[in-house]
Amino acid sequence: MPLPQLRPNTSVAEFFRLLIAGAPRRDGKLVDIDASATTATQTARHGLGRAYRGGWVVLGPSAAVQLRVLEPSEQAEPQTYVSFALSAATAVTARIWLY
């Protein structure tokens, strides 16, 4: 993402406002996922209406459980599904932010 074009007297607050306004991450969605206890890659519908560009775990399992959102290039249908990998012995529920 290119930096915003600034005038010489632009304040720091205005710079960050412009920077955040152009961030692609704001055009995202919170997705709740229920992951079963397996180490296999799992998928869930995301409902963005387009392929997602990335994501991260917002509210997840304990620190002992690793949940990783796969990159769109690592799966077959990023326009409909998000894929994730889980390392846990029990099922977990998590909330992820996709953009």
Adjacent-strand bridge partners of 66: 87
Question: Domain limits of the chain?
Answer: 27-98
| Distance from C-alpha of 8 to C-alpha of 25, rounded to nearest angstrom | 27
* DSSP type of residue 90: S
| 56-97 pLDDT per residue, tens | 888 776 666 778 888 898 888 999 999 888 877 778 888 888
Tell the burial category of 59 from Cβ atoms under 10 Å away from its Cβ (0-12, 13-18, 19+).
exposed
pLDDT over 90 percentage in the chain: 14
Query: Is the pLDDT at 9 greater than 80, yes or no?
Result: no
